[in-house]
Amino acid sequence: MKRKLAFFVALALCFFVALGASAKTYTIGFAQTGGNEGAWRDAETASVNAAAADMGITLKFVDGQEKQENQIAALRSFIAQKVDGILLAPVVATGWDDILQECKDAKIPVVLLDRGIETSDDSLYVCKITSDFVTEGRRVATWLTVKMGGKANIAELQGTPGADPAIMRQKGFAEVIADFPGMKIVKSQTGNFNAADGKQVMEAFLKADKTINAVYAHNDDMAQGAIQAIQEAGKKPGKDIIVVSIDGTKQAFTSMVAGTQNAVCECNPLLGKIGFETLIGAINGKTYPKWVVQLDGLYDQNTAKSALPTRKY
Ligand code: AHR
């Protein structure tokens, strides 16, 4: 009888220990770039919020208003609040070492979400979960080169200065067109990854250079701004001026179906679940490759219509 009782007590203990382990709720800080970038970033924020709700995570969210100093202050406040882990979408690539060292000293793992950083010490973060921005740039450049028969006067709308995807997308695109002397970037300026700036910059480009016949925008929001500017200048986007960009938002697909945009390379913003799973793994001692790369597809007007109904962002 005694032995039976001991067995049931032990069983009950195991049950409660197991229950306790699985019921651990994590408090995670998310320092988003923030500001008014647009559809892609909204989709990423929504994905993080939804995953936090699904996984029972207590989320501390800070909108950095596209300023690095705000994101650094957010990380410092997460440390003070003793969060279990941090997701950081770094607005620019450099200048993170000191604050990441503070996180490391506090034993709080940091996962970089959607953008990478430049550092000589990659032990300061768990890993980056991002798309391959150089490849994205190369893919749209290849598509555009074929479409234009190797000859185009291209206006480039760059992303936020110093941001990882802006640097890498410029690099990948330039590498491909370097082999085609007829493919010229005649204008290049930042549109800060948002539609309003993209429109304003494109208006100035169109006034200054009447030979532009292609636009490469580092994201869809700026492409949307460019499309409006082209229309207001009395030209047909998608026909008179070929438009390519990166992200793959529903808006870009709608524009391709309408004929005002020509091609897009995806960049997956639905990173909430994988971000939290990785961070929780790291909190519990798991290690990861430094780059957890996301795979993207390339779409054009031939494939946009059938893909549009199932687009998730
Ligand atoms: O880091 C991902 C990029 O940043 C997305 O392409 C863009 O829309 C965002 O601003």
What is the position in ligand 1's atom list of the atom closest to the CA of 33? 10
pLDDT band at 32 (very low <50, low <70, confident <90, very high): very high
Mean pLDDT throughout 67-81? 98
In angstroms, rounded to a whole number, what is the distance separating the alpha carbons of residues 242 and 212? 9
Q: Is the CB of 116 under 6 A from ligand 1?
A: no
Residue nearest to atom 4 of ligand 1 (CA): 165
Ligand 1 centroid, distance to 167 Cα (angstroms): 12
Q: Is the CB of 138 under 6 A from ligand 1?
A: no
Ligand 1 centroid, distance to 254 Cα (angstroms): 19
Residue 114: per-residue pLDDT: 97
In angstroms, rounded to a whole number, what is the distance separating the alpha carbons of residues 19 and 52? 20
Mean pLDDT throughout 109-126? 98
Inter-CA distances, 121 with 34, 39, 112, 124, 160, Å: 26, 33, 14, 6, 24
Mean pLDDT throughout 168-195? 98
Instruction: Name the DSSP letter for residue 176.
Output: H
Tens of pLDDT along 194-226?
A: 999 999 999 999 999 999 999 999 999 999 999
Percent of the chain scored above 90 by pLDDT? 91
Residue nearest to atom 3 of ligand 1 (CA): 165
Residue 24: per-residue pLDDT: 85
Q: Is the CB of 193 under 6 A from ligand 1?
A: yes
What is the position in ligand 1's atom list of the atom closest to the CA of 37? 10
Domains and CATH numbers, the chain: 26-131+269-295 (3.40.50.2300), 133-266+299-310 (3.40.50.2300)
Q: Is the CB of 41 under 6 A from ligand 1?
A: yes
Instruction: Name the DSSP letter for residue 233.
Output: T
Ligand 1 centroid, distance to 238 Cα (angstroms): 22
Average pLDDT, rounded, for the chain: 94
In angstroms, rounded to a whole number, what is the distance separating the alpha carbons of residues 56 and 24? 9
User: One-letter amino acid identity for 6?
Assistant: A
Residue nearest to atom 2 of ligand 1 (CA): 114
Phi, psi for 300 (deg, rounded to 5): -140, -170
In angstroms, rounded to a whole number, what is the distance separating the alpha carbons of residues 199 and 215? 12
In angstroms, rounded to a whole number, what is the distance separating the alpha carbons of residues 214 and 281? 45
Ligand 1 centroid, distance to 12 Cα (angstroms): 50
Phi, psi for 210 (deg, rounded to 5): -80, -5
